[in-house]
Structure 1
């Protein structure tokens, strides 16, 4: 990053960004996004600034209690605690994707390429970054061995907004989320974080027939702006959430977040062809999309506790199970969106 300037003149904001990057160090999947100016341009930071301002306005406000589908409203203090817990969850998700030094991740190179069980390399689901770390029971984390699986794919012809709307839809949750056991989820509470309906914190409950509704809920944060979107979620126990919604301390609620980061892929719409194809075909002739049509870059990341003893050793079975779960999730999302996939 070079010099950036932010100018406030009453309400208008001018943001000027000068950025340089070494394209050779950037994966080819992300080069069109950087070339388009959407990744490092001032518009991205202005969009993020607007979203954060709306969030802080909500956090500092004192609105009427939100009843939702619960019998008791959330108090203003409980609402703020729930928003802070969701923010911690999103921060931990991003730290896991970026493999920050503070979390002391250890890369498992031996499983880096063959984690998807021998699938066609062209599909890309076998290129999963696997990492592990030991959690010794710090506040906000369960003790044990945590395994992280992360991969990125491109969905040409599938707009980011469509991917975002699908992933945050609790009615279609059972199509891809193993925690839903193949069924829809119920939104118990919803806290708006801004003017866009996609910026919110939700508390979801698995369907009553799934068998685990008595002790597990899903905390989910969704956020979106012109620069990209996040869908982050984590299972939480009912008792902990009752404490948080009552205004209690959320710092000791254990979370292992998973989720999705959704970006535009930087491709522009191809110009219309002047001559018809000699074969009479089109990019969508077979239900797919042109590889050069605008689409989405989707990063999927899971953090899963594979053993509750911090000193335990990882097994091949644990790594393969998590890697295959990630691959199957991507395939289910691809099928639901009727999208094609281009992988690293």
Structure 2
């Protein structure tokens, strides 16, 4: 009772007296004594705590006084430091100075050997940013002497009003870019001069190796009897190129190598300019490169070319296959007035080789040779040579496609480059609406330009969301099939719809060729059989902007017969490596503003789409029966806005409702597609 009420009133004391059989005055005195006793105990406890704290302060004070007697100050060479200590410090400084002198001399000798002339470095140990004089092209010169000869600078700004026919056919080597002058995101990376020297040695050796790989056939390159391509013979390669810059190879690692060539409708200068700019690099290969960054520019012209430490992430357009990450050095060199070589080689940025940790992705010297043909086109020869070690087992429907040099092989790089350069040229030439059949929709060239730009933004945004391997929000949900992926993200991009966005995607195998599947999706007459977003109604095409010579490569504006206020912006593309169909709903007033030439850079757009690729299975692997069918892999992806208030959070119920809604949309669409194509489970 005392703990709850140390000061009882008279009624409480009388009640306690009756219960205890004591006089109320006795009860009163007992509480007074108890309060005094408790107060004394508390004061004693507080005194002990204060005494302990005081003793601790005294000890710390004594320790600080003692340490003040032994202060050491090497900078001012104060009296407390003895002669022996000063002598040791001086000796260490002399040894460090000698090491720096040796390192300085080593770098100077290396640069002199590379440049073929005497080279004196400044006191900051950094090579001066100068250009090189052209050297002779004698037959006995090494590759290193050949590739260190030409002055290089930034190209002039292109005139967007010129079409393809107005393209210059000659190359001015003084206007070839060293590195992109555009603003780029850089990551801070600290290394010493010894590491930088190692990087230079790696890229020079890699350039020599790339030069040999591009020229050699036997015994390095072996023809493949399965797909008609070629691959590197491992024993011959390791004998001819004994390179120490190689990763540890685990039992599960796999080496992929391939070579291919093709004519690209861009000049060598344009290609090199795009290869050195991470943003343009991603735009040239949107179906392969999902991220690219310049970590550091190691050299911007002293060695006659560009050397950059870079990062890139490569992906397949499906959430079922993990991406590949590469840290590598990119070296671009001009061999002669019309020929360039670009080589990429992985660099052991995190010391994985020394620690014996196998990297998941590693580039042996890979890249391309670009020869300008003088007519606005270039002949590009591509070499891919990588080692990969997947962290997860490859999904069975992608196994043949991924393991047979098709997904990341040289042919895919060439075909993608050809297709995107064709799209670029059509976009640059589409300045006059009357040159193409636009059905009278585009009366303003700015409106046509707006449509092409917003479609490109739509396509790029769609490709970026497909890397959902590690973003499954409900992995244990019984409603999801093993191949379904669902994620919910908060979107804060200026040019995209703000709020919470739910994304659902899945991949499946279809026993039809990817060309037939693409033709089915591209046909407006069959769209009502699968497209839920248009309400299953018939549609008509309002406008078409060609992006290539093939009729299926185009941007279209589609309208439902019944829902005239809601349109669909769609871009479709097909080449020999696959196809895609990407679309987004858009309101009629927005489309009207776009085609009338108003600003469309901040128009929000939320794309969904379909990716179609061959399944990668060779004819010999389909069985010996005569009725073996071609197959394709279909990836279907939808996005919906579930909350347009970015400042609020969504509840668990909203979360579950969004998952159920978008999964129902995905499942229903897949069932409709299978039924329309005559494919059963």
487, 490, 494: which is aligned to 1:131? 487
SS at structure 1 position matched to 2:679: coil
Match of 2:503 in 1: 148
In 2, Cα distance between the equivalents of 1:4 and 1:106? 31
1:5 positional shift: 2.2
Equivalent position to 1:158, from 512, 518, 534: 512
Match of 1:179, SS state, is coil
Segment of structure 1 superposing worse, 309-318 or 331-340: 309-318
Secondary structure of 1:19 counterpart: strand
Q: Secondary structure at the match of 2:618?
A: coil
- Report how far residue 67 of structure 1 moved: 5.5
The answer on 1:51 being equivalent to 2:391 is no
CA shift at 1:218, angstroms?
A: 0.2
Query: Match of 1:87?
Result: 456
Partner of 1:241: 591
Match of 1:108 among 473, 483, 486: 473
- Does the CA-based 8 Å contact 2:474-2:486 persist in structure 1? yes
Distance 1:89 1:308 in 2: 19
C-alpha distance 247-306 of structure 1, shift in aligned 2 (>3 A): same
**CA distance in structure 2 between the aligned counterparts of 1:35 and 1:331, rounded to whole angstroms:** 29
Q: Deviation at 1:307?
A: 2.2
Cα separation, 2, equivalents of 1:264 and 1:67:
31
* 1:1-344 paired onto structure 2 within 5 Å: 1-9=363-371, 10=373, 11-22=378-389, 25=392, 26-61=394-429, 62-65=431-434, 66=436, 68-70=438-440, 72-99=441-468, 107-110=472-475, 113-116=477-480, 124=481, 127-136=483-492, 138-155=493-510, 157-207=511-561, 209=562, 212-214=563-565, 216-269=566-619, 270-273=622-625, 293-310=629-646, 311=648, 312-313=650-651, 314-341=654-681
Deviation track 1:188-215 (CA, whole Å, cap 9, x = no partner) reads 01001011212111000111x3xx312x
Distance in 2 of aligned mates of 1:237 and 1:52 = 28
SS in 2 for 1:187: strand
Q: Is the 8 A contact 1:115 1:128 kept in 2?
A: no
In 2: Cα distance, 1:6 partner to 1:75 partner: 40
| Deviation for aligned residue 1:246 | 2.0
More relative contact order, 1 or 2 (CA 8 Å, 6+ apart): 1
Please, which moves more after superposition, 184-193 or 18-27?
18-27
Aligned-pair distance for 1:99? 4.1
DSSP 3-state at the match of 1:32: helix
Q: Render the CA deviation track for 1:145-196: whole Å, top value 9, x for unaligned.
A: 21000111111x2111111111122221111111222222111010010112
Q: TM-score, normalised by structure 1?
A: 0.82
SS at match of 1:321: helix
Contact preservation (8 Å) 2:433, 2:442: no
Q: What secondary structure, in the 3-state scheme, does the structure 2 residue paired with 1:133 have?
A: strand
Unaligned runs of 5+ in 2: 1-362
Q: CA deviation at 1:309?
A: 2.4
| CA shift in 2, pair 1:53/1:315, >3 Å | closer
Query: Normalising to structure 2: TM-score of the pair?
Result: 0.43
Give a deviation string over 1:98-139, Cα, whole Å, max 9, x none.
Answer: 149xxxx964125x64335xxxxxxx4x64211011234x43
Structure 1 residue runs without a partner (length 5+): 117-123, 274-281, 284-289
Q: Distance in 2 between matches of 1:74 and 1:48?
A: 32
CA drift of 1:143 comes to 2.6
2:214 maps to none
Q: Distance in 2 between matches of 1:90 and 1:222?
A: 10
Where is the helix percentage greater, Structure 1 or Structure 2? 2
RMSD after superposition: 2.3
Conserved? CA contact 2:580–2:611, under 8 Å: yes
For the 8 Å contact 1:17–1:42, the answer to whether it is kept is yes
Deviation at 1:24, TM superposition (A): 6.2
Q: Is the 8 A contact 1:268 1:294 kept in 2?
A: no
CA distance in 1, matches of 2:385, 2:471: 34
Mapped partners of 1:23, 1:139: distance in 2: 35
Is this contact kept in 2: 1:221–1:232, CA < 8 A? yes
CA contact (8 A) 1:113 1:127 kept: no
CA offsets per residue over residues 316-338 of structure 1, 9 Å max, x none? 22211210110111111111111
Distance 2:513 2:596 in 1: 39
Looking at structure 2, the residues matched to 231 and 263 of structure 1 have their Cα atoms a distance apart, in angstroms, of 12
Q: In the alignment, what sits opposite 2:133?
A: none
Which protein has the larger Cα radius of gyration, Structure 1 or Structure 2?
A: 2
Between Structure 1 and Structure 2, how many residues are aligned?
305
For 1:50 and 1:127, the matched residues in 2 are separated by 32
Residues 113 and 128, structure 1, Cα contact 8 Å, conserved in 2: no
Q: Give 1:64 shift.
A: 4.0
Q: What SS does structure 1 have at the residue aligned with 2:396?
A: coil
Counterpart secondary structure, 2:488: strand
| Deviations 1:269-307 (CA, angstroms, capped at 9, x unpaired) | 33534xxxxxxxx96xxxxxx6xx431111111110122
Decide whether the 8 Å contact of 2:514 with 2:632 is kept in 1.
yes
